[in-house]
Amino acid sequence: MANIPTPKEIKLHQKSNLLEIQFDDDTECKLSCEMLRVYSPSAEVQGHSPDQAVLQIGKEDVGIIGISPVGNYAIKIQFSDGHDTGLYSWAYLHHLAKNYDQLWLEYVGKLDAQGIQRKNN
């Protein structure tokens, strides 16, 4: 199994609703709370297979109210809308960081396909 990059630092910027992560492979990212919420790894969001995934709507203003470490491999995030299931493993966070632009475009595309407009912040 390949070495999974691990975070050196995780910082929550509450004013801007960004989670800044610096990995030990020099990957750095700022993931929006909305992005983290709509791509929650929980079964409630992802379903038990890709065709069961539930499109998350109206999460533009969601914030993070708590972050808890889970062992040495993940964090659990508590969101301001009450969502707190799903473990964000280092590998999953790294995947979100590396593919942020593509994943964001996919999300906005799914909203557009359903005729849903995001609120402008």
Give me the residue spans of the domains in the chain.
Answer: 7-113
Cα 107 versus chain centre, distance: 12
The structure tokens 């070495």 sit at 3
Q: pTM of the predicted model, to two decimals? A: 0.93
In this prediction, residue 89 carries a pLDDT of 97
Residue 1 has pLDDT above 90, yes or no: no
- The answer to whether 83 and 68 are in contact (CB under 8 A) is no
User: What confidence tens digit (pLDDT) does each residue in 8-17 have?
Assistant: 999 999 899 9
User: What confidence tens digit (pLDDT) does each residue in 58-104 have?
Assistant: 999 999 999 999 999 999 999 999 999 999 999 999 999 999 999 99
Residue 2 has pLDDT above 90, yes or no: no
Closest to 60 (Cα-Cα) out of 31, 32, 34:
34
In this prediction, residue 65 carries a pLDDT of 96
**Can you spell out the DSSP letters for the chain?**
-PPPP-EEEEEEETTTTEEEEEETTS-EEEEEHHHHHHT--SHHHH-SSGGG-----S-TT--EEEEEEETTTEEEEEETTS----EEEHHHHHHHHHTHHHHHHHHHHHHHHTTPPPPP-
Closest to 87 (Cα-Cα) out of 99, 95, 97, 78:
78
User: What confidence tens digit (pLDDT) does each residue in 16-64 have?
Assistant: 999 999 999 999 999 999 999 999 999 889 988 878 889 999 999 999 9
Q: Could you tell me the fold of the domain covering 7-113? A: NE0471 N-terminal domain-like (3.30.2020)
Residue 121 has pLDDT above 60, yes or no: no
